[in-house]
Structure 1
Amino acid sequence: MNDGSLHGHPYGEDVHGSYGEPEHPVQDTGPGGLDARFESLPPETPAAQTAARFPASTTSAAQPAQGVVPSGEPTTELRRGIPAHVGTRPPTYPPHPLGRPSLRDGDEFAAFSPVVVLDGARIGPLTVRAASVRGDSHNWEGGCRQDSMVVTRIGPPEAEMLLLAVADGVGSARHSHVGSYSLSRMAAVHLDREAESIHAALCVRDSSELRALATKAVALAAAELRPGWARSAQHKSRPYADEDYATTLHVLLVPTDARLRDRVLCSVGDGGLFVLRDGRWEDGDPDVGEGLLDTRTEALPHAYRTVKTSLVRTLPGDVLLLGTDGITNPLAQKDPEFARRLADAWGGPEVPSMSDFLWQAQTRAKSYDDDRTVICLWEEGA
């Protein structure tokens, strides 16, 4: 989760200029400045020029070369190039990973964390595409991705649900990447233990019972993780503190029984659910709830009172998007270009391939440089 600024960044606002545009060259900032860092980067090549390096095969489809079995597919090797951007100018940050944490930094979890995680599933009528991508600012700084995600199934066959979860580690918390990863998975484990009760409450639309079950599962997940985190801090410079592992968490529970149209959204913190309906993105959780803290101030495992729960009823043709604020923030802005691009990409008659989904999810927007995690859900026949 990014607070909108780069604390102590030596380049300040210059970082948000235009990267790689001949008509807008990056200004010289002196020895060791921005230009000096860019000099070591390989030059960017437009996608069209890159594709031209791989021309179509000259072998006739009607007369294949000896030993070559025609596949029926085009032989031109397509290259998408760098992700598209909205606005007149792309962000300054390079659109690819730079450095990464080292094992010698003392944080094995960060050193082993991949820059990108891509996942998907097809369960009955439900199709999922999911991507978690290190943000441009973390790419620039060489830090690890603080977001996490989960795609899994919970519950017995008669009460089975698809569980989708996204978590966004708070940027100022030193172990938030561990918190987001661990809490999203442990919460799934405890929600699985309550799956039959959750499914029963969902069938009768009992919001109070759903809230109690979700709060219990998340509280038990945090309680189970704390002792291990405390032991790992024994030989470190400061004792264990909940706030060092601060993270948001959003879980969407979807019955695999197509006759059930309700879904359960469990939330702590910012980010959340959007619904693509009739070509427009709508807030999937319009209810504020009573007696709860402002979700913008909440984080696990400590700074929350309860897990906010909502029942979401879907309509045929809806596409559900669960995301961290790296994607929900630009999606909710007044400038419609970002939202329109994703609506066009994900609102069509075909579910995108996993590689296409990743490329689309990386659509860039100036000043939105946080980690981005997005899970989309389509339903067959909708």
Structure 2
Amino acid sequence: MSQQGDRPATTDDWWGRLYDESARDTGPAGTPDDTIDDRFDSAADTLGGGDDLPSARTYGHAVDAIAVADDEDDVGDDEDEGVGPATRPPAWWESPGGRPVTRTPAPAPESAPAPAPEPSVPTPAPVAPAPLTPRPRAPWEPPPAAFDPTDPATDPAADPTPPPTPPPTPPPAPPPAAPRDPRAADPRPPAPAPPPPPPAPAPAARISHVGDSPPTYEAEPTALPAADAEELDQLVADTVLDGARYGTYTLRAASLRGDSARYRGEPRRDALLTARFGAGPGALVLVAVATGARATEGAHLSAADACRWIGGAVGRSHSRLAEDIRAGRRGDLKSGLHRLTDRTYGKLRARAAELGRDPEEYTASLRCLLLSADPDCRTRVFFGVGGGGLFRLRDGAWQDLEPLVPEPSAIRGAPVVGYGSVPTGAGAATEQTPDGDRLTMDLEITKAPGPLVEEPVPPPPEPFRFRASVARPGDTLLLTSVGLAEPLRGVPALGDELAARWADGEPPGLATYLADVALRAKGYADDRTAVGVWEA
């Protein structure tokens, strides 16, 4: 132990040099940046030989972390002072034994690794001799740009020194072009896309009636027919819709209640039957349309019976009928269908007798179409009894195909022998006795005179109608009941409108076809039934 006034035994008289009167004042720094490095540099300058003392940045990880936490604006520019972490010798307190340790300066690396990109939150710097931690961003400096592999300015391996001024904001990028086929060999840019086509004109609004004014009745049903709890099977629907496609034709069929019946709550008097008998090319399609007598009770029942009985008769003979249609035997078809129709009306008269009604009350008009399912057969057969219509749309114009029937007043002929006829001519004297009794020509047997008819003879029944025609591609055949046949013949605008709607030759859908059939005309409020056949 030394006495007062004696010098210590060591040669490192740093204590005296620190408190010597010739040393500079180590008071507060003149700048606001008062960090550990600044204080150490001040102490080193006071002792002299600052180049021989280590920097505060070499103390280790803990000292550097404290410096960053104390002041985020610490620049720490040691390179400007000429002191680097690789050339400064370690201090005595860095040695484990507490004594100075002499180190050989390590050579400077050829290329220092690039610092890592600046994190958003300050993190401790790596232990020496790792590269220096980038300084925190000052408030007046712009934020660093996000890393972009195609932009060298954002590469972490580039020079970390920020440019003096931020780069100008690039203009917005144009929209990406259409992808180019990599197999294309033409390096020229693709041709500009053609301008879009002009918008198609809006379709014309579909009218609901023809003529100068709308019909009196409403277009939609308003009242239902009366029902009987014990005879619910006798009810008929307001509208029936059906369709099919066979061979070269498309079938559409619709039957709807008239405006008058909808208003009064009366049942639909028209009946519609669509049936297929057989299969394959030998199949036969029957469409039957019947209309009950006007202003009679149970008219819808007689129409339904007529359709059901003619359908049964055709179904039992469909093989022979289909063969005759494909072979074109019109004579056989006419006679055979005439017999089937007579049997149907015979059943109607028998049914009227069962109900205790007159045959004229329990009857119906009947019109039918026979269509073969064979694609090679284009013969279309129509037959029936009573009123209605048969039309064909060809080349945009309507043709009335209704078979001509002579008027009853135009029928001429001698009365049937034996019913009051008086023969004239040379053989008159030989056919009767002097008393006026008529004799047979061969047996000379006296025959009683004919019965005396007091009441007028009832009019003859409706004649049988038959027609067979060959369809052409693009034709439209239309079979209608009286409720649509009359306005088609009496209002030309109705036919013109339907011809315009069906001019393209394509069969309409079921809903569209129903709307076409329901096209109204003032003064015609009966039930409507229509069967359309579109030829491909």
Aligned with 2:215 (options 91, 94, 111): 91
Q: 1:368/1:127 Cα in 2 relative to 1: closer, same or farther (>3 Å)?
A: same
Q: Could you tell me whether the CA contact under 8 Å between 1:132 and 1:372 is conserved in 2?
A: yes
Deviation by residue 1:14-61 (Cα, 9 ceiling, x = unmatched): xxxxxxxxxxxxxxxxxxxxxxxxxxxxxxxxxxxxxxxxxxxxxxxx
Deviation, structure 1 residue 143: 0.5
TM, length-normalised to structure 2? 0.49
Deviation, structure 1 residue 368: 0.7
- Tell me the matched-pair count: 285
1:273 matched to which residue of 2? Answer: 390
1:102 matched to which residue of 2? Answer: 226
RMSD value, Cα: 2.9
Q: 1:228/1:147 Cα in 2 relative to 1: closer, same or farther (>3 Å)?
A: same
Aligned with 1:366 (options 522, 530, 536): 522
Aligned with 1:331 (options 488, 503, 513): 488
What secondary structure does 2:209 align onto?
A: coil
Q: Which of 1 and 2 has higher RCO (CA within 8 Å, sep 6+)?
A: 1
State the alpha-carbon separation in 2 of the partners of residues 176 and 339 from structure 1: 29
Q: 1:175/1:346 Cα in 2 relative to 1: closer, same or farther (>3 Å)?
A: same
State the alpha-carbon separation in 1 of the partners of residues 407 and 363 from structure 2: 22
State the alpha-carbon separation in 1 of the partners of residues 409 and 364 from structure 2: 15
1:117 matched to which residue of 2? Answer: 240
Name the structure where helix makes up a greater proportion of residues: 1
Equivalent residues in 2 for 1:120-159, closer than 5 Å: 120-155=243-278, 157=280, 159=282
Equivalent residues in 2 for 1:227-266, closer than 5 Å: 230-231=353-354, 233=355, 239-266=356-383
TM, length-normalised to structure 1? 0.67
Q: 1:200/1:141 Cα in 2 relative to 1: closer, same or farther (>3 Å)?
A: same
State the alpha-carbon separation in 2 of the partners of residues 360 and 168 from structure 1: 20
Name the structure where strand makes up a greater proportion of residues: 1
Q: Aligned letter for 1:351?
A: P
Q: Aligned letter for 2:308?
A: R
Deviation, structure 1 residue 190: 0.4
Equivalent residues in 2 for 1:172-187, closer than 5 Å: 172-187=295-310
Deviation by residue 1:129-153 (Cα, 9 ceiling, x = unmatched): 1110100111111111000111221
Deviation by residue 1:102-143 (Cα, 9 ceiling, x = unmatched): 224986455x21111111112233211111010011111111
Q: Whose Rg is larger?
A: 2
Aligned with 1:350 (options 506, 509, 527): 506
Q: Could you tell me whether the CA contact under 8 Å between 1:153 and 1:161 is conserved in 2?
A: yes
Aligned with 1:195 (options 318, 333, 338): 318
State the alpha-carbon separation in 2 of the partners of residues 293 and 107 from structure 1: 43
Q: 1:266/1:155 Cα in 2 relative to 1: closer, same or farther (>3 Å)?
A: farther
State the alpha-carbon separation in 2 of the partners of residues 355 and 329 from structure 1: 23
Q: Could you tell me whether the CA contact under 8 Å between 1:83 and 1:359 is conserved in 2?
A: no
1:38 matched to which residue of 2? Answer: none
State the alpha-carbon separation in 1 of the partners of residues 349 and 306 from structure 2: 10
Q: Could you tell me whether the CA contact under 8 Å between 1:138 and 1:370 is conserved in 2?
A: yes
Deviation, structure 1 residue 208: 3.1
Q: Aligned letter for 1:180?
A: A
State the alpha-carbon separation in 2 of the partners of residues 240 and 117 from structure 1: 29
Aligned-pair identity in percent equals 31
Q: Could you tell me whether the CA contact under 8 Å between 1:93 and 1:140 is conserved in 2?
A: yes
Deviation by residue 1:276-327 (Cα, 9 ceiling, x = unmatched): 1111111123x42579899xxxxxxx96365321112211110111110111
Q: 1:291/1:261 Cα in 2 relative to 1: closer, same or farther (>3 Å)?
A: farther
Give ranges in structure 2 of 5+ residues lacking alignment.
Answer: 1-203, 411-458
2:404 matched to which residue of 1? Answer: 288
Moved more, 312-321 or 192-201: 192-201
State the alpha-carbon separation in 1 of the partners of residues 373 and 408 from structure 2: 30
1:162 matched to which residue of 2? Answer: 285
Residue 377 (str. 1) matches residue 533 (str. 2):
yes
Residue 312 (str. 1) matches residue 436 (str. 2):
no
Q: 1:202/1:349 Cα in 2 relative to 1: closer, same or farther (>3 Å)?
A: closer
Q: 1:82/1:230 Cα in 2 relative to 1: closer, same or farther (>3 Å)?
A: farther
State the alpha-carbon separation in 2 of the partners of residues 290 and 203 from structure 1: 30
1:53 matched to which residue of 2? Answer: none
Q: Aligned letter for 2:313?
A: H
Deviation by residue 1:353-381 (Cα, 9 ceiling, x = unmatched): 1111111111010001100001111123x
1:216 matched to which residue of 2? Answer: 339
Deviation, structure 1 residue 329: 1.2
Q: 1:205/1:123 Cα in 2 relative to 1: closer, same or farther (>3 Å)?
A: closer
Deviation, structure 1 residue 156: 5.7
State the alpha-carbon separation in 2 of the partners of residues 99 and 197 from structure 1: 45
Q: 1:198/1:364 Cα in 2 relative to 1: closer, same or farther (>3 Å)?
A: same
Give ranges in structure 1 of 5+ residues lacking alignment.
Answer: 1-79, 234-238, 295-301
Q: 1:366/1:139 Cα in 2 relative to 1: closer, same or farther (>3 Å)?
A: same
Q: 1:254/1:188 Cα in 2 relative to 1: closer, same or farther (>3 Å)?
A: same
Q: 1:206/1:377 Cα in 2 relative to 1: closer, same or farther (>3 Å)?
A: same
Q: Could you tell me whether the CA contact under 8 Å between 1:177 and 1:245 is conserved in 2?
A: no
